[in-house]
Structure 1
Amino acid sequence: MATTRRKFVLGTLGIAGALVVGWGLMPPRQRLTTAQPLPTGEGEVAFNGWVRIARDGTVTVTLAKSEMGQGVVTSLCMLLAEELDADWSRVRWQPSPIDAIYNNIASVVDGLPVHPDTDNLAVDAVRWLTAKAMREIGVMMTGGSSSVKDLWLPMRQAGASARQMLVAAAAAQWGVAAADCGTENGEVIAPDGRRQGYGALAAAAAQQALPRDPPLKAPERFKRIGQATRRLDTPGKIDGSARFGIDALPEGLLYASVRLCPTLGGRAHSHDDAAARAVRGVKAVLAVEPLRGGTGGVAVIADHPWRARQAADKLDVNWDHGALASFSSAQAIEGFAAAARTEKGFAFYETGEVDAALAGAAARIEAEYRAPYLAHEALEPINCTVLFEGNKATVWVSTQVPGLARKAAAGALGLPDEAVAVHVLMLGGGFGRRLEVDFIAQAAAIAKAVPGHPVQTLWSREQDIRHDLYRPACAARFEAGFDADKRLVAWKNTSAGQAIVPQVLTRAFGLPGGGPDKTTSEGAFDQAYEWPAARIAHVKVDAPLQVGFWRSVGHSHQAFFKEGFVDECAHAAGQDPLAFRESLLRRHPKQLAVLRAAAQAAGWGTPSPPAPDGARTARGIALHDSFGSTVAQVAEVSLGPDKAIRVHRVWCAIDCGFAVNPAGIRQQLEGGVVFGLSAALHGGVEIVDGQVQQSNFHDQPILRLNEAPRVDCLILPGDGSPEGVGEPGVPPIAPAVANALFALTGQRLRSLPLKLA
């Protein structure tokens, strides 16, 4: 382990020394029952904090994760229904209340800056303490591709616990031993074949003692988990009954439009609202301060969204452009590149003596890579609806963080958290943007101006793109050394850019951010490649621009950097890109198997067929570990008129541990490829004098149907619990395409988005 890594881990452990021998040795608190009883409808009973059963046998699963297109509703219901032996046709779901048992533990533990191959008592202790702490003081969150991993055991335990109570109730009625009874498809079965439905047993079963550690099924007994299953949320999206944040329509709803300062982080210095107030239907006009990392402006509340927007356009505002008035993204990225060249940074991973290996190398290569700031561009524009009633409030919102949403609204309204009720609706895309609460605090501050009236604050697409909390830009410098036989002997990588986590800690919790932020270097230091000697570091560069999490976070650009330079090393060594990667994975059979599966499926090593128009094609390959999963992709590309990059086909192999719903995994991989290609080919916001130059899909496009490639997905059988799926399909696509372009044209593209000279 690197010296810097060891100091960090042992330092953390030392600070928590008393906890290690006291609180830290106690078992974690349960994640089965809530502090307050789960609300129930007429004829329903709650068995624990995750499941209710009605008299008609309907099973309602409580979901602590937000559905934003990733299929989490279906996967989590599958986990509980499997252990409950529920009738799948009777399974429903509802969002959970806010409670500590729903805190996301897996994502925070996975966020520790530890190399995956590191395995010792100190690291285990830090992970244990982190998991215990997150159960108590953590955050309800959907993110980090952690939903199924985080609830793999709690959901199954909840189902198994309820099943055991149902069996006990039936056995008591029949006068038989519970151990002699079975369950199937929503019924308890007696030894003599009699059956009783869960609905008829629910009331009596809920009186049984709650099992704390119910036995779980062995994987070979699974009937639903592991089977391709149609999504439960699809029918509602087809018939229009599904409710997203923008669909919140409480009685008496008013609408707010905000004229935001064109400079990020700015505010209104003064404004003339006479023309705005003259618009029919306008109820109020008020200045709104920058909140939770957002931008300030002037809001108009009216009885119709179009009137509110028209009135906002008539405002005459004198702006205070603030600290970002002279900020330039181009200058910032130049600064990042300079820092990567000249500063050592924090070493997230070291092995061997890399400088000595480079000095003694027979040949050396070096390169610099860059990635821009990126907007999220979820299809559902930013919105939030708030009803303020003096001593309490209700919020309807699409959010990935219900607890933080409540805190943000409460803070803006001057209320205690408990006085705010949050209704989490479906998300029309999240990608990390709805991990932020700037727009929620803003909506609450606006609604406070008209107590007793619900107000929906709705941003335009232009505001969504120009007032995002962007994926950080980044630059990276690489050096590699080879011996006389062209074998790799040294790998040195220093990246530089802003850090997300310190900013999030400040704007969400008011805490100072300290210590290394894994997201800055993830995708660079935490990979399986067996470097002979290496140093992988990041230079944290502070800048006033607020940045946020973006789908696959640091992996989104570090994979492009790393896999591009791996290809450069293969070329310098005179080796096939696949064979070169294989030589660095001799002790990592999982990664080797995924890499070979994608290559074999793509016909690697055979001639690439011509494009439909006869143009020459070429293939590129990339391998990347993220969120516990390993993904390899092969992209087949050609050039169209004016050197337009066309991606025809992508082969994508994944090992994500236990595959809960293979159909959902394929959908997420396909979506990840399309999302990643949008950024690789088109993504990047330019900021001049603190103002974003792009505004809508015409100048910040997402991939269109005619650009989308065919995606072939291969799900390899994995061991253990499920790992991440929602994000791992994103990182490898940009380098796979860039590497294919090098094979096709001889041009090595080291900056995103990909543009040929």
Structure 2
Amino acid sequence: MQISRRGLLAGAAVGGGLLVAWGLWPRDYGVPLTPGRGEWAFGAWLKLARDGVLTVAVPQLEMGQGITTLIPQIVAAEMGADWRQVAVEPAPVSGAYSNLPLAAKWAPLWLPLAPGVADEPGDLVTRRWAGENGFMATADGTSLGAYERPAREAAAAARAMLCMAAAERWGVNYEECEAQGGLVLHGGRQLSFAALAEEAARFDAPDPPPLKPAPYSERPIAVGASQDLAYPRLDLPAKVDGGFQFAGDVRLPGMLYAAIRHGPVGDAVLSGYGSKAGARTLGLRQVVKSRRWIAAVADTWWAAEQALTALRPRWRTENRADSGIIDQRLDEALTKGEASRIATRGEGDRDLGEPTVTYRYEIAPATHATLETASATARVADGRLELWLASQAPAAAKAAAAKAVGLSAADVVLYPMSAGGSFDRRLEHDHAIEAAVIAAEVGAPVQLVWSRWQEMVAGRPRSPLACLASAWTAREDGTPGALRMRVAMPATTREFGERLFGNKTAFAALDAAEDPDPLAFEGALSPYAIPAVAIDHVPVDIGLPTGRMRGNAAGYLAFIVESFIDELAARVGREPLSFRMALLGGDPRLAECLQRAARLAQWDGGARQSGNGLACWRIGNPATGEAVARIACVATARAGEGGVRVSKLSAAVDLGRVVNQDIARQQIEGGLVFGTSLATGSAISFADGLPTESSLGALALPRLADCPDISVEIIAGDGEPADPGEIGAVIAAPAIANALHSATGLRLRRLPLLSEGI
């Protein structure tokens, strides 16, 4: 919903609400960057130094996806900078870096009573809320959509200012100058950015900035070909030599280390512990306890962990999470619960009678399995809290930690650190609150690191669900004329929103998230040309807090829809590829992905016992102009000793305009491996409030020897660049499931596959 400044003022004046209008008026958040000696800031995005180093602010969490290369690359390409002289600085929390597309997308979470006034990135309410709250969250593949344009504008303005400085020296018009390779050029003359930095900073930036005619893009190369990288990753050398700093690498003078134990999953309260036994642990400094957790602080993390073992904390817990109870509640909700219609196409299932076919699909809770567990360092001194933290939502983490120790957010300094993997796990900030509370009580800097066991106990797994997929099909060829999905699952996105924006505890958020959850079904209206579609949600309280995970709604919807489409084809003996192609008349680009993936994999028609299966999906809505990622994948898999054996994945991907082909390929390949892990493992189960899996080794994750041969063809496209990080993760599971059906003749309708045997 668009609201103009003039319209807002006029409406406010009529109603006597000028104060409201003033409160919504967009604000200038200044220049958050602090230049060092011999360095000058050019707006909020970049600094240029006398030695020629160009430092670019990155307002997104680097968690392996390469964002600390992508945003600087956009700046360097637009500005004409020398890539060898580009550096990166994590941006401080500031309204100058608002993620407006994500703020609009999540409006139902932070503005639940009137999301319609903030459902577009350009809406005045969206801009004001995101700015005032420093909303810089890294999620849902919105980084390029949010930051490519402002980064380009900042670079274009700086380029113009450098040209102005050079033109003044040469006595020419600055529009006649050009910038290339870190130099300003005119005729046979040249001056370096370094030589011009101080003078250029004195000029006013042109408004609007003189953008280049087209944003930077790279044309994808053929599968198996190689080429020199125009913009190699900036973080790669430090990651190779071990010098890259993650959240757990922070070291401060006088720092102590904390380990923690959380109560079982349920309404847990600490009821006691053996203080005398713990006190005998060498190096123990202090025990800090809260209602739902207890921490030991010691000279080393191992000493703190050993002290907690000796303390043997005891818990009084009601409503303990249990996998048997979870499955029972999902089953009852699916078969008997009251459903709400979330999405409809055409007439939905109106007056259709009984469906031709109905199948049931299930998905177990899945854990993120990040390499780096939750880690945070805190120091409280002189009325100020300092936090060293890897966070996908730094403003929310900062505010929550401040409140926990009785400070205002203005009294908190958050130093953004990189994450050793996240997959949306670092959207949560429990560990930031705990570290702040522990440091405040101890009176010294404290680094809190969760053990792998605690990551399992206190994590926020992907929500489990049960679904009945029904179709009304044509008798002659099995083509679906109508599709209905009835899904029983927690209102997981609303629950997450209560934690992130309402600062509620996990179980308080469960109580607040009782309504149907449309955000948990993004993309449910599939690209297939099925005239009538109906999506129903049955919210269910399973007694287990759940959260977001890489791929989110597409991760489970793709498995359900693509498995179901394959089953519809098999019922009438139709070949899976041609069956899909006949339904994709409304999305020719996705149809092209299917054809290319089939050629890449030498598709054999998915013949019985071939072990080949395919699937396709898209993320994004082309009807709204949103950037769309499309993928088709052919998997080769078999049931082997010890589980599923995936030998090959062949994918064709359309991302629109590709900004960095190398990073895009890395993300797609990594996503396919991550999706494979969700297909074959990653599940977490509970008994008496505790996970039955305690280590990474218990999650049946693919090891290096288990990783399939992967071939990826990136299709040259135009339009806005789509995010490559999610699309590979969502397609692997359905492609593998369909491949196993081809190999075994059995249909596996539960993730992870083979979790119930064959």
TM-score normalised by length of structure 2: 0.89
Counterpart of 1:256 in structure 2 is: 258
Counterpart of 2:113 in structure 1 is: none
Counterpart of 2:633 in structure 1 is: 633
- The CA distance in 2 between the partners of 1:95 and 1:531, in whole Å, is 46
**Shift in Å, 1:253:** 1.1
**Candidates 335, 345, 359, aligned match of 2:353:** 359
**Shift in Å, 1:716:** 1.2
State whether residues 100 and 121 of structure 2, in contact with CA within 8 Å, keep that contact through their aligned partners in structure 1: no
**Candidates 420, 435, 449, aligned match of 2:441:** 449
- The CA distance in 2 between the partners of 1:220 and 1:491, in whole Å, is 40
- The CA distance in 1 between the partners of 2:573 and 2:220, in whole Å, is 46
Counterpart of 2:92 in structure 1 is: 97
- The CA distance in 2 between the partners of 1:573 and 1:278, in whole Å, is 71
**Shift in Å, 1:554:** 1.7
**Candidates 179, 182, 193, aligned match of 1:183:** 179
SS in 2 for 1:585: coil
Partner amino acid, structure 2, of 1:163: R
Counterpart of 1:620 in structure 2 is: 613
Partner amino acid, structure 2, of 1:712: S
Counterpart of 1:479 in structure 2 is: 470
Counterpart of 1:345 in structure 2 is: 339
State whether residues 330 and 686 of structure 1, in contact with CA within 8 Å, keep that contact through their aligned partners in structure 2: no
**Shift in Å, 1:617:** 3.9
Counterpart of 1:4 in structure 2 is: none
- The CA distance in 2 between the partners of 1:556 and 1:519, in whole Å, is 13
State whether residues 71 and 151 of structure 2, in contact with CA within 8 Å, keep that contact through their aligned partners in structure 1: yes
Whether 1:554 aligns to 2:553 is yes
State whether residues 286 and 300 of structure 1, in contact with CA within 8 Å, keep that contact through their aligned partners in structure 2: yes
State whether residues 104 and 119 of structure 2, in contact with CA within 8 Å, keep that contact through their aligned partners in structure 1: no
Unaligned 5+ segments in structure 1 are 1-8, 114-121, 290-295, 610-615
**Shift in Å, 1:281:** 2.0
Counterpart of 1:382 in structure 2 is: 374
Counterpart of 1:158 in structure 2 is: 154
SS in 1 for 2:324: helix
**Shift in Å, 1:343:** 4.5
Structure 1 residues 679-698: aligned runs within 5 Å: 679-698=678-697
State whether residues 156 and 211 of structure 2, in contact with CA within 8 Å, keep that contact through their aligned partners in structure 1: yes
Change in 2 beyond 3 A, CA 1:666/1:608: farther
Counterpart of 1:422 in structure 2 is: 414
Whether 1:266 aligns to 2:268 is yes
- The CA distance in 2 between the partners of 1:107 and 1:252, in whole Å, is 39
Segment drifting more, 515-524 vs 439-448: 515-524
Change in 2 beyond 3 A, CA 1:257/1:513: same
- The CA distance in 2 between the partners of 1:287 and 1:655, in whole Å, is 51
- The CA distance in 2 between the partners of 1:37 and 1:739, in whole Å, is 51
**Shift in Å, 1:576:** 1.1
TM-score normalised by length of structure 1: 0.89
Counterpart of 1:336 in structure 2 is: 330
**Shift in Å, 1:438:** 0.6
SS in 1 for 2:362: strand
Q: What is the aligned residue count?
A: 714
- The CA distance in 2 between the partners of 1:221 and 1:368, in whole Å, is 46
State whether residues 217 and 660 of structure 2, in contact with CA within 8 Å, keep that contact through their aligned partners in structure 1: no
**Shift in Å, 1:420:** 1.1
SS in 1 for 2:697: coil
Counterpart of 1:293 in structure 2 is: none
**Shift in Å, 1:543:** 3.9
Counterpart of 2:623 in structure 1 is: none
SS in 2 for 1:492: strand
Whether 1:369 aligns to 2:371 is no
Kindly provide the CA deviation profile for residues 397-442 of structure 1, in whole angstroms up to 9, marking residues without a partner as x. 1211211121122112111111111111111001111110011101
- The CA distance in 2 between the partners of 1:381 and 1:179, in whole Å, is 52
SS in 2 for 1:484: coil
- The CA distance in 1 between the partners of 2:63 and 2:456, in whole Å, is 19
**Shift in Å, 1:59:** 0.3
| Sequence identity (%) | 33
SS in 1 for 2:728: coil
**Shift in Å, 1:448:** 1.1
State whether residues 228 and 664 of structure 1, in contact with CA within 8 Å, keep that contact through their aligned partners in structure 2: no
- The CA distance in 1 between the partners of 2:568 and 2:296, in whole Å, is 57
- The CA distance in 2 between the partners of 1:375 and 1:212, in whole Å, is 48
**Candidates 366, 388, 412, aligned match of 1:396:** 388
- The CA distance in 1 between the partners of 2:331 and 2:100, in whole Å, is 35
**Shift in Å, 1:264:** 4.6
SS in 2 for 1:699: helix
Counterpart of 1:612 in structure 2 is: none
Counterpart of 1:82 in structure 2 is: 77
Segment drifting more, 597-606 vs 732-741: 597-606
SS in 2 for 1:330: helix
Change in 2 beyond 3 A, CA 1:345/1:217: farther
Counterpart of 1:5 in structure 2 is: none
Segment drifting more, 595-604 vs 328-337: 328-337
Change in 2 beyond 3 A, CA 1:746/1:468: same
State whether residues 112 and 518 of structure 1, in contact with CA within 8 Å, keep that contact through their aligned partners in structure 2: no
Partner amino acid, structure 1, of 2:277: A
Partner amino acid, structure 2, of 1:285: V
- The CA distance in 2 between the partners of 1:401 and 1:461, in whole Å, is 22
**Shift in Å, 1:214:** 1.1
Change in 2 beyond 3 A, CA 1:397/1:748: same
- The CA distance in 2 between the partners of 1:123 and 1:20, in whole Å, is 17
Structure 1 residues 446-595: aligned runs within 5 Å: 446-451=438-443, 453-486=444-477, 487-510=479-502, 517-525=517-525, 527-595=526-594
Counterpart of 2:666 in structure 1 is: 667
Q: CA RMSD in A?
A: 2.8
**Shift in Å, 1:338:** 3.3
Kindly provide the CA deviation profile for residues 422-469 of structure 1, in whole angstroms up to 9, marking residues without a partner as x. 111111001111110011101111111122x21011111111122201
**Shift in Å, 1:230:** 1.9
Change in 2 beyond 3 A, CA 1:94/1:514: farther
Change in 2 beyond 3 A, CA 1:224/1:66: farther
SS in 2 for 1:200: helix
Partner amino acid, structure 2, of 1:242: F
- The CA distance in 2 between the partners of 1:623 and 1:633, in whole Å, is 6
Segment drifting more, 301-310 vs 245-254: 301-310
Counterpart of 2:726 in structure 1 is: 727
Kindly provide the CA deviation profile for residues 597-651 of structure 1, in whole angstroms up to 9, marking residues without a partner as x. 2122112236889xxxxxx642111111125311111101133336x32111101
- The CA distance in 1 between the partners of 2:403 and 2:11, in whole Å, is 37
State whether residues 82 and 224 of structure 1, in contact with CA within 8 Å, keep that contact through their aligned partners in structure 2: no
**Shift in Å, 1:565:** 0.5
**Shift in Å, 1:360:** 7.8
Change in 2 beyond 3 A, CA 1:472/1:565: same
**Shift in Å, 1:279:** 2.0
Counterpart of 2:316 in structure 1 is: 320
State whether residues 555 and 731 of structure 1, in contact with CA within 8 Å, keep that contact through their aligned partners in structure 2: yes
- The CA distance in 2 between the partners of 1:660 and 1:520, in whole Å, is 29
Change in 2 beyond 3 A, CA 1:411/1:64: same
Counterpart of 1:116 in structure 2 is: none
- The CA distance in 2 between the partners of 1:128 and 1:304, in whole Å, is 49
- The CA distance in 2 between the partners of 1:638 and 1:655, in whole Å, is 28
State whether residues 40 and 201 of structure 2, in contact with CA within 8 Å, keep that contact through their aligned partners in structure 1: yes
Partner amino acid, structure 2, of 1:750: R
Whether 1:408 aligns to 2:413 is no
SS in 2 for 1:713: strand
State whether residues 54 and 199 of structure 1, in contact with CA within 8 Å, keep that contact through their aligned partners in structure 2: yes
**Candidates 300, 307, 325, aligned match of 2:303:** 307
Whether 1:284 aligns to 2:286 is yes
**Shift in Å, 1:560:** 0.7
- The CA distance in 1 between the partners of 2:38 and 2:26, in whole Å, is 27
Counterpart of 2:599 in structure 1 is: 600
Kindly provide the CA deviation profile for residues 5-55 of structure 1, in whole angstroms up to 9, marking residues without a partner as x. xxxx9xx99xxx9799779999x9889x74354211111100010100000
